[in-house]
Amino acid sequence: MSEQDVTVGQLLLAEYQTVKDEQKARIGFRDNLLYVTLAVVAAVIAAAAQAKQPAMLLALPPVCLVLGWTYLVNDEKITAIGHYVRDELGPRLARLAAADGSFPTFGWEAYHRSDTRRRSRKRIQAVIDLTAFCGVPLAALVVFWAAGDGGALLIALSVVEALAVTGLGIQTLVYARAPRAAS
């Protein structure tokens, strides 16, 4: 084997860097989705109020659904990458570094999860996610229904939107409570 040959350790470290880069990009994208959602919500509410057209609020549920689902999928992938690094990549590198496999790798991946306030932060984040992606569009639907000036088609559309937003809320809670997959 020559010096130019790639070792298993080098391949694992390259994989680590690649998945961490993906995780970092997904975190930035995911976090920006909340800001985009707030901007869209403000724009739609302002437009509906200015035009005095509550039916315009029916634009919020589909927008919040798309943004919320995208947020949820990215959040799940961010979590999956963390699990992969902790449960697969780290132990494989540790076995290469020490014959007995007891050498800890990527300590931060486990250390930051041991914070005593982590659970409360995760619960608060779930409430924020539910509010932004589900509560706001459901409130818009209530305002639309209270205005009472939608035709049968718009009422039917709003009911479908309410069901879809409720489904997103359920999925948000399922993902928030999902147990870690065993390796």
Per-residue pLDDT of the chain (183 residues; tens, 9 = 90+): 555 667 888 899 999 999 999 999 999 999 999 999 999 999 999 999 999 999 999 999 999 999 999 999 999 999 999 999 989 998 888 888 775 556 677 777 777 777 888 889 989 999 999 999 999 999 999 999 999 888 999 999 999 999 999 999 999 999 988 665 544
Give me the residue label for tokens 């634009």: 59
Is position 183 within any domain?
A: no
Is position 182 within any domain?
A: no
Q: What pLDDT does residue 179 have? A: 62
Is position 101 within any domain?
A: yes
Is position 105 within any domain?
A: yes
57: closest CA among 44, 43, 40, 66?
A: 44
Is position 114 within any domain?
A: yes
Is position 24 within any domain?
A: yes
Distance of alpha carbon 138 from alpha carbon 165, whole angstroms: 7
What domain range includes position 110?
Answer: 8-177
Is position 98 within any domain?
A: yes
Let me know: does 72 contact 172? Beta carbons within 8 Å.
yes
Number of domains in the chain: 1
